[in-house]
Amino acid sequence: MNNEPTLNLPLCRQLASEHPYPLLFATISGAHLYGFASPDSDYDLRGCHILPAREVLGLHTTKDTIEQAGVREGTEIDLVTHDAAKFFRLLLKKNGYVLEQLLSPLVIQTSPEHQELIALAPRCITKFHAYHYLGFAETQWGLFAKENPPRVKPLLYVYRVLLTGIHLMRTGVIDANLPRLNEEYKLPYIADLVAAKTGGKEKGTLDAADLAFHRAEYERLVARLQDEHLKSSLPEQNSALDPLSDLLVRIRTKK
């Protein structure tokens, strides 16, 4: 349940092909991944590039993060990638962003090493990833609550983040697609919110009278995520340091 059939994949692949360094992978993130892209949604591409050993070992400044953005064919599109060393270090932290990027089913470019990373992803996950989702939800709620009139988009981000976090704590599985998550969690208002976003403009708004209802739901789901964190059987520490380090060395020395 995603927007993959309507994606402009050739446009995405063209941007990825112009990257100055080899890509370990590139995937689609943002609203397309989350299952509520509007007709005018931009494309958020994320990935991991590989700096050559000469640049890493030498004295020149390395480009461990590269951003490319612009408007192509009337569509806003951006690609942000981290060098493998930086990306791997982020995987070893309680960073849900990089896990979602790595595990996105909307793949623009892949490699055998990408598949190895996917296989290692479960060993990167800990119960403390709950803090990432709690913090992200708080930020998105702040964006939603301060606007007049309130917009649908940040509210959908709030619910997406909270359900992703709850699901991760319960199952150990990363799922960033809100409509698919809601097949299990069955929040009755999600379908209407998604329809309002996907069927209209990117900046669609809500009736301000709904704010109190959604505040109560936000607080309820935050409490649910906190509770699932406490009950979670996920480990407190990751176990991926050594295999990620070995993979990085192989990538750097690959001919």
Q: Write down the pLDDT at residue 199.
A: 79
Q: Write down the pLDDT at residue 226.
A: 98
The domain made up of 4-122+239-253 has a fold known as Beta Polymerase; domain 2 (3.30.460)
Q: Write down the pLDDT at residue 209.
A: 62
Alpha helices by DSSP H, listed for the chain, are 9-17, 30-34, 53-57, 84-91, 96-103, 112-124, 129-146, 152-171, 178-185, 190-198, 211-231, 241-253
Q: Write down the pLDDT at residue 2.
A: 41
Q: Give mean pLDDT, residues 128-157.
A: 93
Could you tell me the residue ranges of all domains in the chain?
Answer: 4-122+239-253, 129-231
φ/ψ bin of 164: left (φ > 0), alpha (ψ from -120 to 50), beta (otherwise): alpha
Q: Write down the pLDDT at residue 60.
A: 78
Choice among 105-114, 209-218, 228-237 with the minimum mean pLDDT: 209-218
Q: Write down the pLDDT at residue 207.
A: 72
| For the chain, percent of residues with pLDDT exceeding 70 | 95
Q: Give mean pLDDT, residues 111-136.
A: 98
